[in-house]
Amino acid sequence: MARNDLVSGNVWEQYSKKVQDRMNNPVALGELTQEDAKRLGGKLVVADFGAESCGDAVRLFWVVDEKTDKILESKFKSFGCGTAIASSDAMAELCVGKTVDEATHITNTDVEAFLRDDEDTPAVPPQKMHCSVMAYDVILEAAAQYKGVDREALVNSDIVCECARVTKQEVIDAIRTHDIKEVEDIIKITKAGAYCKSCIRPGGHEPKDIYLVDILADVRAQLDQEKRETAADASQNGDLTFDKMTIVQRIKTVDAIIDEYIRPMLVMDGGDMEIIDIKENLPYYDIYIRYLGACGSCASGSTGTLYAIEATLKQKVDENIRVLPV
């Protein structure tokens, strides 16, 4: 079969025009030298990273202004497939003008998004997403070298999704914050598992130590246990009125009502809330809350939604409750 046949039709169309252009004409390809650093008035940084799984490798060159930590110029050299070249090219361009710390927040999903022709169409097929992972890794190598620290000091090694650089703790926080019950909602909210899908469950093209389904099962079990403990506490409190409760008992009581009557409503709209504090301002009990997710930017959060929350707590807990968003 001729090579042209291998990259024609549907296969070739899975790559954005930007990716194809940078495969053939990378704009940041090259190297920087000590002479360049002297000319620009910065420090030369040269970092290497290689992917053992596919044999691709990339070398990143920076000239950094040591007074501001700003990256003045960035170049790369790559040994790998066309996707690796295009991703490295985009990565090098994205670094310019950022501080070293800002550059460490450039993830491979940022690189992939930068290479899209439109925001709704992926730039590369899912199985090639790993090629852009090197972009993130080589940035970490360069940043660690510039700062004179070990690379592991700059990254949480507990990464669940390599494609989106999502940590286990981020997944746990999302499950708890949004009361997630289905793995599809983890993917929607965190982007973990949205690309190569290897981290969702066993059976993907790349084995993992832990999967999203495992984390979801563990956190749901913890949440169920916490609810049982809250119910037990409430039972022990018996007929104890709100004004006689300790602050811990009050928070647990209010949280239980929110879990049962309010949180499901908020989560349906992509939002949530958390209790910040409960203060006595007799005859009132002021409950300070913070909106999360979509509720944080929703205009109804300070009107209809707030009224519904306050009305429910007045009915279920104490008529003197006031709810105040912060």
**pLDDT string in tens for the chain (326-residue length):** 333 333 444 667 788 999 999 999 999 999 999 999 999 999 999 999 876 555 678 999 999 999 999 999 999 998 878 888 999 999 999 999 999 988 987 877 788 889 999 888 888 887 666 666 677 789 989 999 999 888 776 655 467 887 887 888 889 888 988 889 999 999 999 999 988 899 999 988 778 878 999 999 988 888 887 777 666 665 555 567 888 888 888 888 898 899 888 888 888 777 888 899 999 999 999 999 988 877 666 655 556 788 889 988 998 899 999 999 98
Q: Strand 284-293 vs strand 321-325: parallel, antiparallel, or unpaired?
A: parallel
CATH of the domain at 321: 3.30.300.130
Could you tell me if 156 and 169 are in contact, meaning their C-beta atoms sit under 8 angstroms apart? yes
d(CA 30, CA 74): 9
Q: Are residues 255 and 111 in the same domain?
A: no
Residues 117 and 27 in one domain: yes
Domain end (from 189, 216, 235): 235
Interatomic CA distance for residues 102 and 318, integer angstroms: 48
Which residues belong to the active site?
Answer: 54, 131
Q: Mark which of 201, 235, 269 sits at the end of a domain.
A: 235
> Are 251 and 210 part of one and the same domain?
no
State whether 36 and 113 are in the same domain: yes
> With 0-12 CB in 10 A as exposed, 13-18 as middle and 19+ as buried, what is 6?
exposed
Q: Which of 137, 155, 173 is the last residue of a domain?
A: 155
Contacting residues for 157 by C-beta, under 8 A, at least 6 apart = none
Q: Which domain holds residue 218?
A: 156-235
Please report how the helices 212-237 and 168-178 are oriented relative to each other, as an axis angle in degrees rounded to 10: 50
